[in-house]
Structure 1
Amino acid sequence: MDFFSEIVGETVILGIDSLILGFCVKQLSKCKYILNALQTAPVLDIDESLNKEINKYSNYTIPYVVIRGLVKPLGAPITSNYNQSVTGVVQRLTIKEHVIARTLAGFWSDQTRTIHEVCNAAPFVLSNGKYSIEVVDALAADLLDMDVISDKFEPMSPGVIDHVWGFFSGVRQRGLQTMEEMLRDGSYITAIGELSRSNSGALKIQPPREDLPLYLTTSTKSSLLKRLAGSRDFLRVLLIVFGAVAAVASGRIAYKYLKRRKRRDLELTMKKQLATGRRERRAQARESGLADVQLCVVCTENPKEIILLPCGHVCLCEDCADNIKEQCPICREKIESKAPAFIT
């Protein structure tokens, strides 16, 4: 049996586990990087000391900073589609389809998929009295906390034909969910990103460089640190679990390889012992006192016993034929096969 066919199960498990393990390592490295950057990020107030603090950095840019302030629109805010009294600076409209689908195992389970999503944003600043910082590209934030303004679910009323079609197709419609979320003006949020000052003196916070995320959240810095630390610890547990699986799978492959190698070495030893026994029996059965023309042209001791094909020369004993595999020692023609020769 081919060795790969013996370890195909372990190989598949090891391959899948390696992919998951690599993903976990990448996510853990990213989580640690963000956690370290957030721990060292300064927490600044929006006041007159902000310009003094930014003067300490080259190009008047702080790579990662934590700032809290009130959301205020620059110009006209966005009005809610479902509550005219609510205004904000970021709006997300989502339509989701709820279905009951049959799984491969034959069970029915609830599933949800987004069929339409629209995001709108208006320019806004974080303010504290007469001081303010403009927020740039809020929709690029990795974490954007918004309030749910409206969440409506419209159930479907399927008929008999719909039930029959759903049974055969494996999908039954439950209804549509329409949801509106907004970042309200006047809400108090934490912005974590890159703070810079333009030539005109205007301050703005934007998505940072160096693969760091922009956060616009109602949580504090300590809450975010706890959340990231929890994600880091969870990824470490996953690394231990999938690392153990990889170690077990690798150990199984190594065990099967060593077992196969030991079995092969044992077979080779037995073949050598059998060959030695046959050689001894041949030596005892060979005639002595033969003429030179009947002796092997290589060792000149044993009788000629092997015919070389296709040239047809009978010139080797069986012992020497085991070592000569390329060319006939008489005519130098390539040896394609060998056969026993019985000379009487």
Structure 2
Amino acid sequence: MVMELSAVDTLCVGSTCALSSLFYYLYRCQRAAVTRIQSAQRLQFDSDLKKLLEHSESRELGYVVLEGKVQAVNEALKSHFKPHLQAVIQRYQMTEHRLLWNSLTRSWSEGKHIIHKQVDAIPFLLSQLEGVGDSVLVSNPLNASGLCLETVHEEFHIPSPGFGEVFRHYLSGEKPTGLLETEEILPVGTVITGIGRLVLDPQGGVDITSTPGWIRILPVP
């Protein structure tokens, strides 16, 4: 008995195979990342990082774990809403919230989308928690994943529409409920864990980098 597949069936089978391949690829990437973290060498600032790098091949150490305190290289960023707070990463965002009418269920559902987003970052150092010693440069903070920023400002702006605007909202099926304004920062002095490649640069400085490779910056529990 020969079973023929229609065009729709073929499309569904093809889509299922493509999704399965994508999920398997993502699973393998995630598994590889976990393996790298588990096998990464854990270093302390009290060990001589420069000597370790000078005696290693290619003047680098592949995937290390290093805990340190965030220090700005040059002038730190300042919070827009709390100027006394200094940071090395700053993210400002405006998100519009609105109600959307669903004619099938005859009910309103909440929707939102980002209408403005600005991210600023400067290179920073990971330094030892106490005393003076070697420090490690994070030259491209925005290349890092796993960033956990601290929310320092959050305000919801509620609109005051007139009667005409309210009427148009009901006709269009979209009713704005407000704008959420947030500011998040990575403050100077925060203790974090960096995971990535440790490299000795030509000037003798120590960098933790993600090119090629990756870097994760995690909060210390």
> Normalized against structure 1, the TM-score is what?
0.59
- Residue 185 (structure 1) aligned with residue 188 (structure 2): yes
Which residue number in structure 2 is paired with residue 108 of structure 1?
108
CA RMSD of aligned residues (A): 1.9
Which residue number in structure 2 is paired with residue 290 of structure 1?
none
2:116 maps to amino acid: H
Q: State the distance in 1 between where 2:16 and 2:182 align.
A: 38
Which residue number in structure 1 is paired with residue 124 of structure 2?
124
Which residue number in structure 2 is paired with residue 172 of structure 1?
175
Q: State the distance in 2 between where 1:213 and 1:75 align.
A: 24
Contact in 2 for aligned 1:136/1:207 (Cα 8 Å): no
> 1:310-325 residue pairs with structure 2 within 5 A?
none
Unaligned runs of 5+ in 1: 221-344
Contact in 1 for aligned 2:191/2:220 (Cα 8 Å): no
CA deviation after TM superposition for structure 1 residue 56, in Å: 4.1
Q: Say which SS state the counterpart of residue 32 (structure 2) adopts.
A: helix
CA deviation after TM superposition for structure 1 residue 99, in Å: 0.8
- Which of 146, 150, 160 is matched with 2:149 structurally? 146
Moved over 6 A (4+): none
Superimposed CA distance per residue, residues 205-255 of structure 1 (whole angstroms, 9 cap, x where no aligned partner)? 11142xx432111047xxxxxxxxxxxxxxxxxxxxxxxxxxxxxxxxxxx
Which residue number in structure 2 is paired with residue 200 of structure 1?
203
Q: State the distance in 2 between where 1:32 and 1:150 align.
A: 36
CA deviation after TM superposition for structure 1 residue 191, in Å: 0.8
CA deviation after TM superposition for structure 1 residue 159, in Å: 2.6
Which residue number in structure 1 is paired with residue 43 of structure 2?
44
CA deviation after TM superposition for structure 1 residue 108, in Å: 1.9
Contact in 1 for aligned 2:65/2:195 (Cα 8 Å): yes
Instruction: Return the index of the structure with the highest Cα Rg.
Output: 1
Which residue number in structure 2 is paired with residue 34 of structure 1?
33
CA deviation after TM superposition for structure 1 residue 8, in Å: 4.9
Q: State the distance in 2 between where 1:86 and 1:30 align.
A: 37
Q: Relative contact order, CA 8 A, sep 6+: which one is greater?
A: 2
CA deviation after TM superposition for structure 1 residue 104, in Å: 6.4
Q: State the distance in 2 between where 1:190 and 1:32 align.
A: 20
Q: State the distance in 2 between where 1:202 and 1:104 align.
A: 62
Unaligned runs of 5+ in 2: none
Task: Answer 1 or 2: which has greater strand percent.
Answer: 2
1:185 maps to amino acid: V
> Normalized against structure 2, the TM-score is what?
0.89
Task: Answer 1 or 2: which has greater helix percent.
Answer: 1
Which residue number in structure 2 is paired with residue 217 of structure 1?
218
> 1:1-344 residue pairs with structure 2 within 5 A?
7-8=6-7, 10-103=9-102, 105-106=104-105, 107-128=107-128, 129-130=131-132, 131-209=134-212, 212-219=213-220
